[in-house]
Chain A
Amino acid sequence: MENLRVLIKSLALPLIAPVVAIAIAAVVGAILIVLLGRSPLEVYQTLLEGGLSGWPNLSVTLQMTTPLLFTGLSVAIAFRAGLWNIGAEGQMLIGALFAGVAGYALAGLPTIVHLPLCIALGFLGGLLWASIPALLRVYLGVNELVVCLMLNPIALLLTGYISTKALKAPGPTNKLPDVAQTAYLPSFSIYSQLNAGIILGIAICIFFLAFNATTVRGFIWKLIGLNPRFAHYGGIDVKTNALWIMLVSGGVAGLAGVEQVLGQYHAFYDNFSPGFGFDGIAVAMLANSNPLGVIAASFLFGTLNGGSAVLQMTTGLSKYFVQVLQFIVVLVLAARFVWHRKPGAIKRKAPATAQPQPVSQEV
């Protein structure tokens, strides 16, 4: 009985915040639509139909979902442990670069070796890029948020230099040479570039769901996120763990680049990302750092992105309207973050004699 109540509570409570955030975004979006002289109902209907109805539309949505699974999970792994990895964008670019180079440079290997090797190297690329903020944070106490943020444009310019100059493929396009077919992620659909990357993405989310719930390491990482001083007090090596968390987070972001290069474009193109790394932050926030939530939030954002093209075609409303909706979601969730943190911060300073405080309401 007690167990059941706890279970229901633990399943229902985390849903409140994201649902409320989405609802608020929908209402604010509706107001904007009305101001633009359209009918909100119609626009939302177009958006959802454009994203979900029929296999052609759905396959585009799933294609849009795929990179977010990786970047969202990457940010979520760090968030859950109280670390701000907002460098997923840069880690993804370096991961893509590694996969892209290995994809053509190691041509001739059989698929069974070439593909896993390229995936592993992509993971390694993201991991290495994340090791910069991680090491600076753990050993010199430099704020990882700032370093991550600064490394994003550096990654973009570095990969830009390599793909437009150093290793550029012959021809007018700024890209690396094409990836050998032995490194392709199998494709599923003629309507979109949907590929086996989505299976990898879902699998890795489920892996981390199990990792979080069942392993000692997963327990420790959560504890570090909730109260690092307590973890340290309890004999846990917080520094080394934090380092690993950042590295794993970076590696997973690198896989987003792998999927783009090996699954969608079959070559590393300069400046290919419309900001999947940043969308990953929104996904992780909406998911409340839960891997299952990452799948759901990625699909939601994928649907909106998929539907936005249809929206633009049929109603003439800019597809950037969808981004406005996404930003509102993030804004509402960020407000909740502050709401959440503030009483906590005060409580920590307050004496143990503090009277019972009202439970902060989640909005």
Chain B
Amino acid sequence: MSKVQTEAKSDPTNEILVLDGISKTFGELVAIENASLSIRKGEIHALVGENGAGKSTLMNVLYGIHARDSGEMRLRGQNVRFSGPSEAIRAGIGMVHQHFKLSPSFTVAENIILGSEPMKGAGRVDFAKAEAETRELSRRFDLELDPKAVVAKLPVGLRQRVEILKALYRSAEILILDEPTAVLTPNETRELFNTMRSLAASGCTIIFISHKLREVLAVSDRISVMRRGRIMRTFDNENVTAQDIANEMVGRSVLLRVDKSAAREIGQPVLEVNNLVAFGDRGEKAVDDLSLAVRAGEIVGIAGVQGNGQDELVECIAGIRTPGAGSIEINGVAASADPRSAREAGLAYIPVDRGGLGLSLQSPLWENLSVGHLSEVSKGPFLSARRAQERASKLIQAYDVRGGGMFAEAGSLSGGNQQKIQIARELSREATLIVAEQPSQGVDIGAIESIHKVLVTMRNAGKAVLVVSADLDEIMALSDRIVVMYRGRVVGDLASGDTSYEEIGRYMGGLHEDAYRDPATPISRPGLQPPHAIDG
């Protein structure tokens, strides 16, 4: 980085973008309240905050997806108001969404030009030119990509690169990256950070949305913290710690570590998975001859980059997906034929897909809390609404669910409170095996603490707990034992006490695959990275 640019970045007058007193409400919900933010040219500016703090909404206002209710937005000193993303793009703002908006069957070059195609003559796209421009672009920004590669076959890290190039192709000078590291391996994350630094060095301004404090500290020049729709404070990276930021995010001191004693008595295996094979939605082998046991009184964490078979494994255990081969036993019973028998064998399952699987968002809380407990709240063929509501109101109190009483629709609650509803429902029955899938995804820090506490309490009460998480911090904090999944296999089984982020990271990236496997078995290596869905 040249000295000039370093100075430019620390020069407060070198503002490229100023948000001044922006407010945005959706109905009664105040999403952003009087938020002010100043972005300097060429800096990497992190925007952190809990889920629901308003980060994405603020960026959507900036990008023209939402219209602001009040406040001013000045871009290069000019007052602007975008009525749609196309206007924001024309003004030099690019956004890479958390869920990529690419067409998987198109090539890299086709995706990049999509929407602003170079033409030759009447109505014919100049594909040769598209490829040439893509090649030129990736050379100029040092982002290596084959313009002819089909996006569906690219690993996630490279797909993200396509998104970034796509923005640069539209001459973006301000690049918004929304949770860009959520789907990346530690290695891919490092590469992304290098890219971000070199883009910033060449004069591009980057707004980096994240809630992973370590990453924010690693790459940003300045860090703005959002809480409940407000920008609370902007820190310079030099004189701030992760603890400072975390405190600012929740407005009080938080425990970044889970307060937990070592596992006391580890008992008999409760969950036994043997040689499980499962296929994903597209027929690919997602779980490949996997064996795993979780014993009473321990928390086993499954680490791994998203899309390495964790979802399919959990769905098989819960009886939602039919295994291709192998067996699953809960308390010695082959119980995973369907969700009902899995439940009856002692499973409590807290799914990550709250809206799609674990809740009915349009139903009131009391109905959501009654599902799976219908025999308790019915009299013969009749449902006793009174009994169900009494039960619900007790659970809502016990689990400190906020954001509406038992008549509120589940969809109107925040992620953390939805999660509490799921947990309350699942743990209010006699379960011996608790499977929690990304228990803190989309959950605010305050709620994460209490959710983790519940899981540890369950372990101490002699339950077997299986936690699947893409968040290494969570895995490290909670687990007694860490199992790493890579391409549908268990590639590492580590005691949480004597491992490190770096070691787990290497396992997650598949670098230890050979070492862990029986050397006698040949390893099949499909040419491609693990399958990932392209969302959006």
Contacts and interface: CB of A to CB of B under 8 A. Distances in A.
Interface string A2-32: 1100100000000000000000000000000
A356 interface: yes
Interface in A195-232: 214-220, 223, 226-227, 229-232
Given A2-B407, A229-B357, A235 B57 contact: no
B275 interface: no
Kindly name the residue among A6, A215, A234, A237 whose own CB sees the greatest number of chain B CB atoms within 10 A. Answer: A234
B351 A356 contact: no
B21 to A, nearest CB: 20
A358 B367 contact: no
A86 to B, nearest CB: 23
Contacts of B52: 355-356
B61 to A, nearest CB: 11
Contacts of A359: 26-27
Interface in A318-363: 347-359
Ranked nearest first, the 10 interchain pairs of A and B with the lowest CB-CB distance are A352-B442, A235-B340, A234-B371, A358-B26, A355-B56, A353-B442, A227-B360, A234-B372, A6-B407, A226-B360
B405 interface: yes
A215 B339 contact: no
A355 B55 contact: yes
A233 B357 contact: yes
B137 to A, nearest CB: 29
Nearest to B98: A351
B382 A348 contact: no
Given A219-B383, A353-B442, A233 B358 contact: yes
Interface residues of A, number: 35
Interface of A: 2-3, 6, 214-220, 223, 226-227, 229-237, 347-359
Interface string B173-187: 000000100100000
A230 B359 CA distance: 6
B374 interface: yes
A355 B54 contact: yes
A328 B179 CA distance: 45
Given A233-B357, A234-B371, 17 more contacts: A214-B383, A215-B381, A216-B382, A226-B363, A230-B357, A230-B359, A232-B338, A234-B372, A235-B343, A236-B340, A347-B355, A352-B352, A352-B353, A354-B56, A355-B56, A355-B57, A357-B26
A348 B56 contact: no
A353 B415 contact: yes
B339 A232 contact: yes
Contacts of A355: 31, 52, 54-57, 60
Interface string B85-122: 00000000000001100000000000000000000000
A210 to B, nearest CB: 10
A61 B492 CA distance: 74
B8 interface: no
Contacts of B361: 227, 347
A352 B355 contact: yes
Given A223-B363, A223-B371, A230-B371, A356 B354 contact: no
Nearest to A237: B340
Contact of B371 (A217, A231, A351, A353): A231
Contacts of B353: 348, 352
Contact of A229 (B27, B31, B356, B370): B356
Contacts of B26: 356-359
A219 B378 CA distance: 11
A354 B52 CA distance: 8
B365 to A, nearest CB: 12
A349 B356 CA distance: 8
A2 B378 CA distance: 24
B130 interface: no
A352 B407 contact: no
Contacts of A233: 318, 320, 339, 349, 351, 357-358
